DNA sequence: AGCCGTTTGTCAACCGGTTGCCAAAAGTTG
DNA sequence: CAACTTTTGGCAACCGGTTGACAAACGGCT
């Protein structure tokens, strides 16, 4: 488990000063109370309940707090309130660059609201995801699950404890942030059809991945509509290595264009195919999903369907904060847009 | 310790929109005390001070804790002790894949000791790194700084508060985990000399980067020893984009082989050079550092000097934990080994 | 049994905030 | 100016653990 802390605190990098008080311990609201000549509870209110005390006392207390360089003790605050100003984010695989943007987006949104992000990974394991989530439950105010491998009931159980938002998944009763993959897939299929492809294939990701199934359905539907063939030819771990392993099945399928569950797999597949002498895109076109870091390093650079991951992260965090603030959780927002990023791994059928 | 599969009441009040309901309060040591017929403080000791209570009572208490499915309230514990069982890790840029392994290594080491990792990023800014670190100080037991941009005195100041370990940097008086770059650089220079190169160049990273300076020194020393020319020709942000910007300077230098501060820069440089029609490695050989994810996606695949980042992360965490446990393990361990990874971006001089 | 040194468990005082309840102070109104 | 309403600040009781001091219980020994 790891956390991304934000840094709204504009405390001066005070070189020295440390503790104006003799003792080394940090100043408390009692110190402030004494200095301002009021009761500790008044200090507490001044600092956390805006408007509860008079402007005059407020100023008095804020000044005292400033000169003492006071910072709340988050543990002391969390003990009675249960609130930690922290939101957890669990990703299925931290080495998947696709999560960069999710993390960045959530982090930025958190920082803006004076919240801290706690990051953890589940190593593509549903069991680990569950234990991690339950461990987190004790120390965070809400949880974001990015591409969860958990089953719906488990997610709902978590949501009963604390606000939960899922990314790349649709779970009824839980904030679900999903990209409108139909848009990107539609664009891609149209493009491939134009290039003369008639037989498309899909390489699936993990079987527990809701998004993998969703992508396949979208592709299938679109192909049916366009009168193209579409088959799912393989599945595997959503990694470069996983993609490599599907090469044989893909070749055997005879398809001239193949969609992969994500860019990582697409890259692995392309590498393996090229190793076997298959020219991309002349012999076969390859498409990924996500547009991750490095997807343009390959030769040819990978064509892919871009998802607004950063926005997804920010949106997930915003939903949780809204829940926390008691604001009535609004309905499902409209899905985020996706778009086709055309590079060199797709081309005219030979 | 104990895995906690706690699904409790499965009575679903139908599809209520994410009620942040607190749930029935978690069991406390008071509940355990009552169940076991002892005093709460005895429970506390049984659970945290091994050997302080008799084996009989110990068992009694552990059983009660197990049946109640008890978990300590970390806030309640942290309040009087100040210990949070959390270690912070600050990386300079979370989108740099080089940190994947650092994070993974530290995370694994932490999990093994029942600690939690808190991750933060400083966005390559020394100021932000400092505020982030100071903010973290309040909630972690120790801090790991990966490739810090901070100045030594600032790092030492942090180390005075809580245990600190730095990765990719040498700071006297602070746990410093550095790779033995001389080994990898030596290998690389020997290889290039063999290939006929006589004029090498170095593209530096951020000026505040200790590691960048160190790499340059190592290269310079090695070249002097081998009778080769070596010049630092440019510097820039340690990113793909930063690497691109150095292309002109690199070309102008006339060097036939260039080391880049890291793989990201090497990739950017190579892309820009190729765009200008320079053939790699025929016209110019390129070497990176770190062996990051994606460095083998390029054409030609990047030759690089591999650092044991994962081990570094684990080692840093171990040092901090040792400090925390009071074991004054000061001794600077021997540096971690590096090695040359030869791929396609280096070759015989034309 | 009497004495003495260990264990082992209990009491109570924190750690540093939050918050319900109440009374004093301030502000309004007739 | 009295009666009444609204603010504002203080008191004290938590939140759930940890820990020093101390006494009761225990065990060994003469």
What are A218-263's pLDDT values in tens digits? 999 999 999 999 999 999 999 999 999 999 999 999 999 999 999 9
Provide the positions of strand C that have an atom within 7 A of a protein CB: 7-12, 14-20
pLDDT for res A257: 97
**CB within 8 Å: B118 and A161:** no
Strands laid side by side in the A2-4 sheet: A2-4, A116-121, A86-91, A142-146, A164-167, A175-177
User: Using a CB-CB distance cutoff of 8 angstroms, which residues of chain B are in contact with residue A154?
Assistant: 7
Distances (CA, A) of A314 to A83, A84, A106, A238, A310: 20, 19, 4, 24, 6
Q: Which of residues 82-101 of B touch A (CB under 8 A)?
A: 84, 88-89, 94-95, 97, 100
Q: Do A11 and B134 touch (CB under 8 A)?
A: yes
From residue B66, how far is each of B43, B54, B75 by CA, in Å? Answer: 13, 18, 21
CA distance A143 to A122: 13
Per-residue model confidence (pLDDT) at position A5: 52
Task: Give the pLDDT confidence score for residue B208 in this predicted structure.
Answer: 87
Paired strand residues for A120: A90
Cα distance between the two ends of chain A: 49
* Nucleotide showing the shortest C1' distance to residue A81 CA: C18
Collect all residues with Cβ–Cβ distance below 8 Å to B213 and sequence separation of at least 6.
B204
Across chain B, mean pLDDT equals 88
**Can you give the pLDDT at residue B26?**
85
Say how many CA atoms lie within 13 Å of B13 toward its Cβ. 7
Angle between helices A98-112 and A309-324 (to 10 degrees): 40
The confidence score (pLDDT) of residue A332 equals 60
Which nucleotides along chain D are within 7 A of a protein C-beta?
Answer: 7-12, 14-20
Low-confidence ranges of chain A (pLDDT < 50): 6-23
Given a contact cutoff of 8 angstroms between Cβ atoms, the answer to whether A269 and A284 are in contact is no
Place of tokens 């040792």: B322
Q: Is some CB atom of chain B closer than 8 A to the CB atom of A162?
A: yes
Q: Could you tell me if A3 lies within 8 Å of chain B, comparing CB atoms? A: yes
- On whether any CB of chain B is under 8 Å from the CB of A7, the answer is yes
User: Which chain A positions have a beta carbon within 8 Å of B138's beta carbon?
Assistant: 71, 73-74
* Cβ A211 vs Cβ A234: under 8 Å: no
Pull the structure tokens for residue A139: 């120390």
Place of tokens 């998944």: A169
Q: What are the DSSP calls for B101-167, one per residue? A: HHHHHHHHHHHHTT-EEEEEE-TT-HHHHHHHHHHHHTT-SEEEEES--S-HHHHHHHHHHS-EEEE
How far is residue A284 from each of residues A288, A302, B104, measured CA to CA in Å? 13, 13, 36
pLDDT digits (tens, 9 = 90+) for B284-302: 999 999 999 899 999 899 9
pLDDT of residue B335: 83
User: Is B20 in Cβ contact with A131 (below 8 Å)?
Assistant: no
pLDDT of residue B56: 87
Establish if A136 touches chain B: CB-CB under 8 angstroms.
no
B134: chain A residues, CB-CB within 8 Å: 9, 11, 13
pLDDT, residue A121, reads 87
The alpha-carbon gap from B229 to the nearest alpha carbon of chain A, in Å, equals 31
Write down all domains in chain B, each with its CATH number in brackets. Answer: 29-72 (no CATH), 86-179+309-336 (3.40.50.2300), 180-307 (3.40.50.2300)
pLDDT in the model for residue A6: 47
Note down pLDDT in tens along chain B; length 350 residues.
Answer: 222 222 223 333 333 333 333 345 789 999 999 999 999 999 999 998 888 888 888 999 999 999 999 999 999 999 999 999 999 999 998 889 999 899 999 999 998 898 999 998 888 899 999 999 998 999 999 999 999 999 999 999 999 999 999 999 999 999 999 999 999 999 999 999 999 999 999 999 999 899 999 999 999 999 999 999 999 999 999 999 999 999 999 999 999 999 999 999 999 999 999 999 999 999 999 999 999 989 999 989 999 999 999 999 999 999 999 999 876 655 566 789 999 999 999 999 88
**pLDDT the model gives residue A235:** 95
The DSSP code sequence of A196-256 is T--EEEEEE--TT-HHHHHHHHHHHHHHHHHT-EEEEEEE--SSHHHHHHTHHHHHHHT-S
């Amino acid at each position: 488990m790891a956390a991304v802390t934000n840094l709204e605190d504009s405390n001066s990098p005070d070189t020295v000063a440390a503790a104006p008080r003799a003792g080394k311990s940090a100043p408390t609201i009692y110190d402030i109370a004494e200095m301002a000549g009021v009761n500790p509870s008044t200090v507490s209110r001044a600092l956390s309940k805006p408007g509860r005390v008079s402007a005059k006392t407020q100023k008095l207390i804020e000044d005292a707090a400033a000169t003492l360089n006071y910072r709340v003790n988050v543990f002391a605050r969390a003990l009675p309130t249960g609130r930690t100003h922290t939101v957890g984010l669990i990703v299925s695989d931290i080495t998947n660059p696709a999560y960069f943007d999710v993390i960045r987006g959530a982090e930025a949104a958190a920082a803006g609201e004076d919240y801290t992000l706690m990051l953890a990974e589940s190593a593509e394991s549903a069991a680990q995801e569950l234990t991690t989530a339950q461990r987190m439950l004790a120390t965070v105010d809400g949880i974001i699950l990015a591409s969860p491998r958990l089953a719906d009931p488990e997610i709902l159980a978590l949501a009963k404890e604390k606000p939960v938002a899922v990314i790349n998944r649709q779970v009824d009763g839980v904030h679900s942030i999903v990209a409108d993959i139909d848009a990107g897939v539609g664009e891609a299929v149209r493009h491939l059809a134009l290039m003369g492809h008639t037989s498309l294939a899909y390489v699936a990701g993990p079987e527990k991945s809701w998004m993998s199934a969703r992508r396949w359905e979208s592709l299938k539907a679109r192909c049916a509509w366009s009168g193209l063939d579409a088959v799912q030819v393989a599945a595997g771990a959503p990694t470069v290595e996983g993609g490599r392993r599907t090469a044989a099945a893909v070749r055997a399928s005879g398809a001239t264009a193949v969609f992969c569950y994500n860019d990582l797999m697409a890259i692995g597949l392309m590498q393996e195919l090229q190793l076997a002498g298959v020219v991309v895109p002349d012999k076969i076109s390859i498409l990924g999903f996500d547009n991750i870091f490095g997807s343009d390093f390959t030769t040819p650079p990978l064509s892919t369907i871009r998802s607004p991951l950063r926005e997804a992260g920010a949106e997930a965090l915003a939903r949780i904060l809204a829940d926390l603030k008691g604001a009535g959780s609004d309905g499902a927002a409209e899905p985020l847009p996706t778009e086709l990023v055309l590079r060199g791994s797709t081309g005219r059928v030979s």
